């Protein structure tokens, strides 16, 4: 049995992510208990909403330091949507410090003629890390579903696993380093490509299950 801890901090529809993970053959556990996260084979940080309230919810549950530790421990870890943004050091959307597992800042899209903010709807991925486990068996330039007004600007652009273009701006769509991965789009709302991504994450978790991880 492959267990995935889905972090509960009252920000977003956790059940959609869980359904996708169940479809991929995993057993998701919705939890805010650090011990359960440590016992799980992998961890998912989902979420929708604004940066500051999300960080405040995490702090109220004393989860910021444990999430940083888990995300940087080598345990397979996936951030989704605001979950990606929270893993960075901070955001132009607010003043709260982020978790800081990824060096960099969350920036706001620049206004320009002919584009809407938020960037909402289907758009094509431009893969920049072909060997990232999330992209196995994915079609080139897959269409996935986005809803966001802010995007990640990593200090080191090499951690970009995929980008997306909105208007004249090409921005981060996914980041990955080792077993720590995160996507700005919603795989659980992205039809077949999104389910493939979640299946790939579960397969990656299974491949690492027998490897010891220092927590």
User: Which is the catalytic residue, given 57, 119, 148, 188?
Assistant: 188
CA distances from 85 to 12, 25, 46, 100, 102 (A): 14, 27, 10, 10, 9
Q: List b or e across 156-187, with b for residues whose CB sees 16 or more CB atoms inside 10 angstroms.
A: eeebbbbbbebeeeebbbbbbbebbbbbbbbb
Residue 81 φ then ψ, to 5°: 55, -115
User: Which is the catalytic residue, given 18, 81, 148, 204?
Assistant: 81
Asked if 132 is an active-site residue, the reply is no
Q: Is the dihedral of CA 81, 86, 91, 93 positive or negative?
A: positive
Exposed/middle/buried for 42, CB within 10 Å: 0-12, 13-18, 19+? buried
Q: Indicate the SS3 state at residue 174.
A: strand
Asked if 92 is an active-site residue, the reply is no
Asked if 81 is an active-site residue, the reply is yes
Tokens 């996936």 sit on residue: 78
CA distances from 13 to 18, 39, 55, 81, 157 (A): 9, 23, 17, 12, 30
User: Which is the catalytic residue, given 57, 119, 166, 186?
Assistant: 186
Active site positions, annotated: 81, 186, 188
């Amino acid at each position: 049995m492959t267990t995935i801890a889905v972090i509960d901090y009252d920000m977003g529809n956790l059940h959609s992510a869980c359904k996708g993970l169940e479809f991929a053959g995993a057993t998701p556990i919705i939890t805010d208990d650090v011990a359960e996260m440590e016992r799980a084979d992998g961890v998912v940080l989902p979420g929708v909403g604004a940066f500051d309230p999300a960080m405040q919810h995490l702090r109220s549950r004393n989860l910021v330091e444990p999430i940083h530790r888990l995300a940087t421990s080598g345990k397979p870890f996936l951030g989704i949507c605001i979950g990606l943004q929270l893993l960075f050091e901070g955001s132009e959307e607010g003043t709260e410090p982020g978790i800081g597992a990824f060096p960099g800042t969350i920036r706001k899209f620049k206004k320009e003629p002919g584009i809407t903010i938020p960037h909402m709807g289907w758009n094509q991925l431009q893969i920049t890390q072909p060997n990232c486990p999330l992209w196995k068996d994915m079609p080139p330039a897959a269409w996935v579903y986005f809803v966001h007004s802010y995007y990640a600007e990593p200090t080191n652009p090499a951690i970009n696993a995929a980008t997306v273009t909105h208007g004249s701006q090409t921005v981060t769509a996914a980041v990955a380093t080792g077993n720590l991965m995160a996507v700005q789009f919603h795989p659980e709302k992205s039809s077949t490509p999104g389910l493939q991504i979640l299946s790939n994450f579960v397969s990656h978790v299974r491949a690492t299950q027998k490897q010891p991880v220092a927590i």
